[in-house]
Structure 1
Amino acid sequence: MPSLLAVFALVTWQVVADGPLLGPDEQISRALVGHGPVGLAEFFTDLGNMQVALPVLACAIIFSLTRGIRREPLYSALAMAAVPALVVPLKVWTDRQGPLTEATGYYPSGHTATAAVAYGAASMLLVPHLKRSWPMLVAAILLSAATSIGLVLRGYHWPLDVVGSWCLSGVLLMALWVAGRRSRRRSSSSTPTDRGGPGRGAG
């Protein structure tokens, strides 16, 4: 987590101070914009829409609740709520202009953060109930990566906008994972165990 915060701070500083990293960032963006199948790239960007990502997380939350799990779904909802709470003020503060527009407020990428946290949190909720965890985790990574690729190819965001959101999302997901692990430990430690023998004072 410290390394993610350090990279996020570095990228944010570069954006605010118009640092030297913005030159290569803009060059990479111009080299990539317009490449690849337009329809597929647009589909990838839609994966980061609230209308798409939130129902996926909502289904995972409902599934966990039906299994009698309470804390982890709550933590996941809080992590998702933290995305706009963090991203919107950062967009206003950094005031970065977009690649193909004069409009500002493009750093960090809200679509990237939405996709990463929604799909990542959903995978964390579902993995404990699956025999194999890696397919769900891989799916979450691929969906988040596809969103980021689509945003850059369509010229909706600079690459550094996406990198900043990856770091921010990574911090939220790591905090969610730690909170979920502690919750499971408390639940397991509070569960009474049957030792199979007579109680004290029996007989």
Structure 2
Amino acid sequence: MLLPVLGCLLLFALITWQVMVHGPLLRLDVRADGLVVGSGPGWLSAGLSDLGNTEVALPVLVVAMAYALRRGSRRDVLAAALAMAVVPALVVPLKLWTARPGPLDPSTGYFPSGHSSTAMVAYGGAALLLMPYARRNWPVPVAVILTVATGAGLLLHGYHWPLDVLAAWLLCGALMLVTASCMRRSSSRTPGSRTDPS
């Protein structure tokens, strides 16, 4: 688990450095953005980007937390809640520090994408909470689809640069790997999951 977390954080640091120094990755980012902005119907891209709004994503996580709490997964619920609370604590200072303008907006504060971060942690946390109780492994693919759809909507509508979204996924991917590891540890400590020595 440590290597994937470190890999995500190192790639995130590389992208952040490129954004700060206006390096070659930033130039590629601007070109890629020019190819995707405005593609597809505006109502669809706006709707997809709204999946990252706190008014949409947080209720999904809260419902999953309530369900898991009812099933007795208190530590897992706490881990998911802490992960969601960490998002603004990480993202807001980075937005202020990098002060990157948006593709269609000269005001700053676009790196990393807050909507992408919220979507990944809310839907990912909900999936982790529901997985032990799902008959099939559907929560994770659904969370991935919702997270990717949010990022696609943000790019197509011109709300964010591609690197803004990618950086959010890397940063919050590391956070979700740590959260998943904490949940696995807490589940292995529950009395029901222990096997008696024979």
Provide the TM-score with structure 1 as the length reference. Answer: 0.92
- Residue in structure 2 matched with residue 7 of structure 1 by the alignment: 11
Q: State the secondary structure of the residue aligned to 1:25.
A: helix
Q: 2:80 aligns with which of 60, 76, 80?
A: 76
- Residue in structure 1 matched with residue 158 of structure 2 by the alignment: 155
- Residue in structure 2 matched with residue 136 of structure 1 by the alignment: 139
Task: Give 2:186's aligned amino acid.
Answer: S
- Residue in structure 2 matched with residue 175 of structure 1 by the alignment: 178
Q: Does 1:116 align with 2:91?
A: no
- Residue in structure 2 matched with residue 201 of structure 1 by the alignment: none
Distance 2:109 2:128 in 1: 31
Distance 2:19 2:197 in 1: 59
Q: Percent identity over the alignment? A: 50
Distance 1:59 1:127 in 2: 14
Task: Give 2:174's aligned amino acid.
Answer: V
Distance 1:190 1:29, change over 3 A: closer
Deviations 1:80-101 (A, max 9, x none): 0111000000000000011001
Task: Spell out structure 1 runs of 4+ moving beyond 4 A.
Answer: 189-195
Distance 1:36 1:158 in 2: 17
Q: Does 1:25 align with 2:29?
A: yes
> Per-residue deviation at 1:188?
3.8
> Per-residue deviation at 1:125?
0.3
Q: State the secondary structure of the residue aligned to 2:60.
A: helix
> Per-residue deviation at 1:193?
4.9
Distance 1:193 1:104, change over 3 A: same
Task: Give 1:138's aligned amino acid.
Answer: P
Q: State the secondary structure of the residue aligned to 1:80.
A: helix
Structure 2 unaligned blocks of 5 or more: none
Q: 2:55 aligns with which of 35, 51, 55?
A: 51
- Residue in structure 1 matched with residue 69 of structure 2 by the alignment: 65
Say if 2:65 and 2:126, in contact at 8 Å, map to a contact too.
Answer: yes
Q: State the secondary structure of the residue aligned to 1:157.
A: coil
Aligned residues: 194
Q: 1:102 aligns with which of 81, 102, 106?
A: 106
Higher helix share: 2
Task: Give 2:126's aligned amino acid.
Answer: A
Distance 1:19 1:181, change over 3 A: same
Task: Give 1:59's aligned amino acid.
Answer: V
Task: Give 2:107's aligned amino acid.
Answer: A
Task: Give 1:185's aligned amino acid.
Answer: S
Distance 1:23 1:162 in 2: 16
Distance 1:33 1:186 in 2: 48
